[in-house]
Amino acid sequence: MIRPIVRYGDPVLHRAASDVEAVTADIRTLIDDMIETMYAASGIGLAAPQIGVGLRIFVTDVSAGRNPHDLVVMVNPELASHDGLQREEEGCLSMPGFEAVVPRPERAVVRGLDREGRPCEAAGVGLAARAFQHELDHLDGSLFPDRLRGIRRDLIVRRIRKLRRTGKW
């Protein structure tokens, strides 16, 4: 089932998500809904808080559905290691129409549980590493503008506040 994506400003996006106690049938259904929602929105990643669920789950697929082996499902993920540096444009399904250059490590390894509750690990380079870190930020209650400084961050936040005041957000 495709679920609505909440937007910047919704409280669930700005607080840390809770650990998943057990991977149950309901959690697997949530994961399936997240995957379907991500693909329907033409995204390459989605965290549970983005659909209003404050649990530590994310899905990513840098191929946007073209390569089934690129789909990563992580329950209770943690960043195991990272190195290097990349500076690329980044957007967010919870902030449509906004992008900014965000520095991130070039390589990242995440560990957690798969959709069956088994321990798993995923390594990513470039866009995959960026997607992992972006989704981990969501699980920690942070969005990409929180990684920006000064006027770049202020401009985005002010534009969103204006859109909200005029009822366009």
Helix (H, G, I), strand (E, B) or coil at 37: helix
CA distances from 61 to 15, 20, 65, 83, 140 (A): 24, 21, 7, 21, 20
What one-character DSSP code corresponds to residue 152?
Answer: H
Which of these is catalytic: 36, 106, 116, 135?
A: 135
Listed in sequence order, the residues at least 6 apart from 8 whose beta carbon sits closer than 8 Å to its beta carbon are 92, 94, 95, 143, 145, 160, 169
Q: If we measure between CA atoms, which residue out of 146, 141, 166, 168 comes closest to residue 157?
A: 146
Q: Is 135 a catalytic residue?
A: yes
Q: If we measure between CA atoms, which residue out of 19, 18, 116 comes closest to residue 73?
A: 116
Annotated catalytic residues are 135
